[in-house]
Amino acid sequence: MTRELEDRLARVALGRLVEPGDPRLAGVVAELGAVEVYAHLREDRDVTGVRTDVAARLAGLDPEGELERAERQGLRFVCPGDPEWPAPVADLERAGTLNGRGGVPLGLWLRGAGSLDDLCRRSVSVVGSRSATTYGVGVAGEIAAHLAGERVTVVSGAAFGIDQAAHRGALAGRGPTVAVLACGVDRAYPLAHRDLLAYIAETGLVVSELPPGCAPTKHRFLARNRVIAALSQGTVVVEAAVRSGALNTSSWAALLNRAVMGVPGPVTSAPSEGVHELIRGTGATLVTRGSDVLELVSPVGSHTQAPLRAPQRPRDRLSVSEQQVLDAVPVSAAAPTSSVARAAGLGAPAVGKALRRLRTAGFVEGGEDGWRLRPRDEAGTVS
Amino acid sequence: MPFATARTVSLSGATGHLVDVQVDLAQGIVATAMVGRPDLSITEARDRCRAAVTNSGFEYPTSRRVTILLSPADLPKRGSHFDLAIAVALLAAAGQMPKSALDGLVFVGELTLDGRLRAVPGVLPMTMAAAARGMTCMVVPEPQADEAALIDGMAVIGARSLAQVVAHLRGDEIPTAAEVAPMASAPLLSWRGDQRVTDLDMADVLGMADARFALEVTAAGGHHLMLSGPKGAGKTTLAERLPGLLPDLSVEESLELCAIYSLAGGLPPGRTLITRPPFRAPHHSASRASLLGGGTGHVRPGEVSRAHTGALFLDEFPLFAGDIIEALRQPLESGEITIARGEEAATFPARAMVVIACNPCPCGDYHPTDRDNRCTCSEVRRREYRRKLGGPVIDRIDIVRHVEPVPAHEARDPLARPEPTAAVRARVTAARQRQGTRYAGTPWRLNGHVPGPALLERWPLHDLAARALEDRVYSGTLTRRGGTRVHRLAWTVADLRGLDRPGGDEVDVALRLRTGDPLMFSALSVAEHR
C-alpha cells in the first residue's frame, strides 16, 4: 500500500469518526498525519481528547469498502495532495474557529462531472436566507447569472430561498456552479431540491465534507459554511435576517480574508436587516449587481468599473455666470439685455457678452433688443 | 262585462315587476287610450296591436272606447314586449276568447303588423321575475322559449304569432305560421375573441412568480388586482389567463350571467346555460354607455355587467376617461352598478374581478426601482398620468403587483417548470369550495364579496393576527378600508392553504399583496403549507 493510499484511507476513516470541523483534530492531523492519528485512535490511545467521543464509532470501520461503494455510486473522495484538491482550502488552517468549528477538512466527497480545483479557481459564493423575498431571489439569480456568464463559479448551499436562486441563476447563465451540502453527497437535502442537485452534478459539483449517507444536523451546517467560504474568493450575502446562517458564512469569509459583500434591500425589510448590519458594522462591501462583485474578486484592474454618473447635458458645460444669465432669459416674451442683466443680478456688459456666447452655443435666440430661450424638444429641455 | 286582464313583466335594469295589462271596452267617443306611464315604444303598441289583431283574422273593437291600463300605474314602463299582453287582453275583453284562459299566464312579445311574434331582449330576467312572484307559465316568442325554460318549474309556451297564442288559449288547433327570426343581436363584442382566451395556459408564462401567485389569490377569492409595470412586462399575458383559473359557473351564477346577456340582447337562441366565466377586455376608448351600461331607450347592461362572475380587464387604465374611472367605484365596492337616468334608475349586477393594468408613465418605460430605465417622460407628466390612479379606485383594489420584464436568467432557467393552468385551477376550485361552505346561507359567495363588519364579527382572524392588523390601521399605515381588504385576502390565502382560520403568516402575505411589497418566496408555494 502506497503512502498516499494509506493517507486517503485514514482520512476516510477519520471522516466517519469525528464530526466535521472538529478543531481538536485539524491541527493534530496536520502535525502527525492522518495515518498516525487514525492508528492512535484504533489502538485505543487518546489524541487531544477525542478518544472517548469517537469510541462508539470505531467498530465496523471499512474505509476500503467505503471508497469502493462510493466509486460504484459515482462519488469520489479528494484530500490534500490530490491534484484536484483546491489549494485555497488550506487557508482554513490559520483562520481559527467560529462557533467551536474550524480547520481544514480531512477531505471532501464529490459528486459530479466538474473538477473541484478548476471550478474553484475563480469562484464566488452567493448565500442568503431560506426565508427570502421574491426581491432577494430575483437579485441573487441575476448576480449569479452574470457571474456564470463571466465563467465565475457560483458556490452555494442548495438550501431554499437565496441558495437555490443562486444555483439556478448560474445554470441559467450556462455557467458552473458548486453546491456544498451539510449531509452526504448521495443525499438530497432539502428533498425538494433533488432535481436541482442532479442538474448541478451534470456540469458542476456537489460537495460535502461528510461521508455518504450522513444526515444534516445544525452544527454540520455551521461546519459546512466554512467550506463554502473557503472554496470561493468572495462571499455575497443576499437577504439575511439578524440571525441567519448566511452571516456565519460571511464571518468565515472575513476570517479567511476573502471579500465580504452584501446586497442591500429595502431598509424596512426584515430579511435584509442582517445584511444591512453586515455592511454597517463590519464594513462589508455593498454590491448591487454582478459587475460590482466581479470588480471586487478579480485581479486589480481587470474588471474595474467606471463610477456611475448621470448623463451630461449641454448646460453642464456652461460656466456658473453663464448659467446664471441663462436662468434670467425669458421663455417666450423677449427681453432686452438690460432687463436680463437686472434679473440675473450681473453687470450689463458681461451679460451682453454671455448672451452672445449662449446664442452661438444654441441656448438663446434674438439680439440686443430682445433675448429669449430657444425652444427645445422636451427630452433636451434646458432646465 | 267588457273587461279583461293579462299579465306581463316590466324590467327596470335587472329588476322585474309583474304588470297587469287591463283592457276596458266602453261606450263613448271611439278612441284607444293608454294609461299607466307607458313610454313611447309602448304607446306605439296601440297601433301595432290594432293592425296585428285585424291582420290575424280577429276583430278590433272599432266602435268602442278602448282603455288600456298598465298597472301599477305609477311604475314607468319601457319596451315593446307589452304588445302580446295588450292584444290578448283586448281579445278577451271583446269576448273573442275566454277571459279565464289568461289566468296564471305571463305574456311577453312584440307584435308585427301581420300578427307575428317577434323576439325581445330580457326574456330570461323577465321569467326569473315572474317565477319569483309565483307565476308558473310564460308565453314567449318561439326563439326565446329555450331561454325562458332555463328557469326551473316554469312551463313555457313558445309561439310564432298572435293567432297561435289565441288558438292555444282557446284550445283550438294551432295554425301554422312562418318561423320567427331570432333577435337581431348586435353584441358589443370585446376586441379579443373568447376562443383565444380559453386556449391560453399558465404553463407558457415564464418567471413572474410573484404575479402568478397574485393571480391565483385573485381568482380564488374574487378580488381586484392591479398590475403595474413597463410595457412588455407581461401584464396582458397574465390577465388573459385569469378566467382559465376559475371553475365552471354554478347554475345560479350562470343564470345571472344569462339574464345580463339576455338584457343586452346577446343570448343566442338554442344556447343553453353559459358555463365558463366571461372575460371582458374593453378598450379605453369605449363609450361610457358600453362600459357601464345605458344607451338610448332601453337601458342595456355594459361591459362591467357582462363580465359578472368573471374578469374585467382594463388595460392602460389611466387612459380611461375620468368619469368612467370614478363610476367604477360602485361595482368595485358593491358588485353592482346603478345607471340613473331621469326618474329611472336601473341596477345591474357587476360582480367581476377587476384587473387593472397600467404603465408607470406615459411612455411606458419608467420604473421607479429599475436602474436601467429608459423613460423619457418628465416628472410632471408622470405625476399627471399617475393622478388618475390615485384616490377612490386604487383604495378599492385588493392586490397590487409590480411586474417587470422577465430577466434573462429566469427565462433561461433550465429547471423552471411553470405550473399549468389546470393545476392552479384545482387549487382555486378547492379554495372556492371552502368559501362556498363557509358562506352558505349568506348573500355572499367569495371572500371578495363579504362586507367588512360581517367579516369582523363572524369570520375574524386569529387574535394575534387581528391585533397586528389593528395596529397597522391605528398607526395610519393602512386605511380602514385597506384593513378590511387585507382581512379578506388573508382568508383567501388561508383557503388556498386549506387552513381553518387565517393567522399571522396569512396576514403577512395579505399585507404584502396589498401594499405591493415583495412576497416571501416560501409563501408562493401553497402546497408546502398543506
Angstrom distance (rounded) from CA B119 to CA B110: 7
Q: Look at residue B111 and give its three-state secondary structure.
A: strand
pLDDT digits (tens, 9 = 90+) for B325-371: 888 888 888 888 988 877 677 888 999 999 999 888 887 777 666 66
The answer to whether residues A105 and A227 touch, using CB atoms and an 8 Å cutoff, is: yes
Answer positive or negative: Cα dihedral of B447, B452, B456, B462: positive
Residue of A nearest to B406 (CA): A138
Q: How far apart are CA A256 and CA A235, in angstroms?
A: 11
Please compute the mean of the pLDDT values over residues A291-316 and round it to a whole number.
85
Q: Where are the alpha helices (DSSP H) in A241-371?
A: 245-255, 273-282, 290-297, 320-328, 337-344, 348-361
> Can you name the residues that pair with B110 across neighbouring β-strands?
B118
CB contact under 8 A, B521 and A134: yes
The complex's ipTM works out to: 0.73
CB interface of B with A, residues 364-383, below 8 Å: 371, 376, 378
- At B501, phi and psi to the nearest 5? -160, 140
Q: Is the pLDDT of residue B528 over 60?
A: no
- B468 interface with A at CB cutoff 8 Å: no
Please name the residue of chain B whose CA is at the shortest distance from the CA of residue A130.
Answer: B522
Nine-digit cell string for B530 = 398543506
Does the distance separating the beta carbons of B378 and A381 come in below 8 Å? yes
Q: Does A305 touch chain B (CB under 8 A)?
A: no
B413 neighbourhood in chain A, CB within 8 Å:
141, 168-169, 171-172
Q: How far apart (Å, rounded) are the C-alpha atoms in residues B31 and B234?
A: 67
Contact A134 B519 (CB under 8 A): yes
Nearest to A206 by CA among A73, A102, A83, A108: A108
> Band of the pLDDT at B489, cuts 50, 70, 90?
very high
Q: In this structure, are residues B375 and B365 in contact, taking their beta carbons and an 8 Å threshold?
A: yes
Contact B518 A168 (CB under 8 A): no
Given CB atoms, is A126 within the 8 Å cutoff of chain B?
no
For residue B378, pLDDT over 90 is answered with no
CB < 8 Å to A169, chain B: 409, 413
Backbone angles phi, psi at A234, to 5 degrees: -160, 160
Give the percent of chain B with pLDDT over 70. 92
Q: Which of B279, B299, B278, B277 is nearest to B288 (CA)?
A: B299
Interface residue B407 vs chain A (CB under 8 A): yes
Orientation angle between helical segments A273-282 and A245-255, nearest 10 degrees: 20
> What pLDDT, on a 0 to 100 scale, did the predictor assign at position B221?
95
**Residue A161 contacts B where some CB pair is shorter than 8 Å:** yes
Nearby residues of B323 by Cβ (< 8 Å), 6 or more positions away:
B288
What's the rounded Cα separation, in Å, for the pair A159 and A162? 7
Three cell numbers written together for B480: 380602514
- Contact at 8 Å (CB) between A177 and A155? yes
Residues 245-274 of A with CB under 8 A from B: 266, 269, 271
Residue B518 contacts A where some CB pair is shorter than 8 Å: yes
SS3 of residue B88 by DSSP: helix
pTM comes to: 0.78
Averaged pLDDT, B301-313: 92
Question: Do B520 and A131 lie within an 8 Å CB cutoff?
Answer: yes
Q: Which stretches of chain A are DSSP H helices?
A: 3-17, 23-32, 34-42, 51-54, 63-72, 116-119, 134-149, 162-172, 194-203, 218-230, 245-255, 273-282, 290-297, 320-328, 337-344, 348-361
CA angle B447–B449–B455, rounded 5-degree value:
60
CB neighbours (10 Å) of residue B47?
11
Greater confidence (A378 vs B209) lies with B209
- Please check whether residue B137 touches A, CB under 8 A: no
Helix and strand numbers, DSSP H then E, in chain B: 21, 18
End-to-end CA distance of chain A: 83
Per-residue model confidence as pLDDT tens digits over B51-88? 999 999 999 888 889 999 998 888 888 888 899 999 99
**Residues of A with Cβ-Cβ distance to B371 under 8 angstroms:** 288
Separation in Å, CA of A131 to nearest CA in chain B: 6
Q: Strands B117-118, B336-341: parallel, antiparallel or unpaired by DSSP?
A: unpaired
Coil, helix or strand at residue A283: coil
pLDDT at residue A1, rounded to an integer = 72
CB B527 within 8 A of CB B419: no
Four-CA torsion B259, B260, B261, B262, nearest 10 degrees: 50
Do the Cβ atoms of B415 and A196 come within 8 Å? Answer: yes
Tell me if chain A has a CB within 8 Å of the CB of B363. Answer: no
Q: Which residues contact A180 (CB under 8 A, 6 or more apart)?
A: A155, A156, A157, A158, A207, A208, A224, A227, A228, A231
Given B376, B415, B522, which is nearest A131 (Cβ)?
B522
User: In the structure grid, which three cell numbers stand for residue A246, read together?
Assistant: 448566511
Q: How far apart are CA B165 and CA B56, in angstroms?
A: 11
Mean of the per-residue pLDDT values for chain B?
86
Residue A271: per-residue pLDDT: 92
Q: Which residue has the higher pLDDT, A303 or B69?
A: B69
- Residue B477 in contact with partner chain A when CB distance is under 8 A: no
pLDDT for A10: 94
Contact at CB, B521 and A199, closer than 8 angstroms:
no
Q: Cβ-count burial of B51 within 10 angstroms (0-12 exposed, 13-18 middle, 19+ buried)?
A: middle
User: Whole-angstrom Cα distance, residue B79 to residue B84?
Assistant: 12
Contact by Cβ (8 Å): A177, A198: no
- Considering only CB atoms, A169 lies closest to which of B376, B409, B520, namely B409
The answer to whether residue A85 neighbours chain B at the CB level (below 8 Å) is: no
pLDDT attached to residue B269: 53
Measured distance CA(B447)–CA(B432) in Å, rounded: 9
pLDDT at B267: 61
Residue A377, chain B, CB below 8 Å: the answer is no
- B521·A160 Cβ contact <8 A: yes
Distance, CA of B371 to CA of A292 (rounded, Å): 14
pLDDT over 80 (residue B191) = no
Are A160 and B409 an interchain contact pair (Cβ–Cβ within 8 Å)?
Answer: no
Buried b (16+ CB within 10 A) or exposed e, A153-177: bbbbbbbbbbbbbbbbbbbbbebbb
Question: What is the tens place of the pLDDT at every residue in A177-206?
Answer: 999 999 999 999 899 899 999 999 998 999
Q: What is the pLDDT of residue B325?
A: 87
